[in-house]
Amino acid sequence: MPMTEDSLEAVITAELPDVPPASRPRHIAIIMDGNGRWALKRGQARVEGHRAGAETVDRIVTACGRLGIEVLTLYSFSIENWQRPVEEVNTLMDLYVECLVRERDRLIENNVRFLQLGRREGLPPLVLEKMDETVKATRNCTGLTLALALNYGSRTEITDAVRAIADKVKAGKLDADVITEQTIADHLYTAGLPDPDLLIRTAGEMRISNYLLWQISYAELYVTDVCWPDFTQADLHEAIREYARRNRRYGGLDESNS
């Protein structure tokens, strides 16, 4: 029997009762760091850390759906990651194909819409094929949007947006005098998605790593020393609690202290 709106709200509230849904982030972006270090500490090859990290993705996607999060964006493979050893890159690409095929039915079952952010050029044909099939299969899902940043770099994204806008100006389809911040946002890979409210980075590194530079202008940052394969639902809940405790002023003043 389908859940009513009230019963769905009750489930969402019960998942994290100390943080009401209105105080939770709409969009969570995560830099999933530490897979290789996690594996090396256990005497395993780095690729085993990526396999363990894929299992964490499954858990966190499920958890975000149950929390009523609208968008989850995961930094999966950057343009710079092509510089890694060929064996590791090939294993990652094989893992993407495996996961896209294995998880597709579960995404549909859980009403999760799948998107890819990043350049298509350079990705193996089989990755593109399975990615496109998953995007098409989940396009009518209305729950959580899972955006996978694959072959992604924020400077590349902004460059692509500027080129697209310049082409429209050159073709007479857009007046340069009316270009606004929204114009730029509408030409980014994330067009149509709300900007991230919360950026989580695992494994303790204090940097952004060319990730969603335009979109995270006012995001709250949360860094944990936990490596991605060990990141749990409890860790996610703690990040959301910390987000809810912060006072987001967007450059203004805190009226309670003025």
The sheet with strand 113-117 has its strands ordered as: 113-117, 145-152, 71-78, 27-31, 198-201, 220-223
Number of separate helices (H) and strands (E) present in the chain: 8, 6
CA 207/CA 204 separation, integer angstroms? 9
Angle, alpha carbons 237-239-242 (nearest 5°):
110
Q: Which helix (H) or strand (E) holds 150?
A: strand 145-152
Q: Does the annotation mark 81 as catalytic?
A: yes
DSSP result, 32-72: ---HHHHHHHTT--HHHHHHHHHHHHHHHHHHHHHHT-SEE
> Which of 18, 58, 81, 105 is labelled catalytic?
81
> Which of 6, 18, 33, 247 is labelled catalytic?
33
CB atoms within 10 A of CB 76: 26
Of 16, 31, 140, 109, give the one whose Cα is nearest residue 68: 16
CA 34/CA 32 separation, integer angstroms? 7
List active site positions. 33, 81
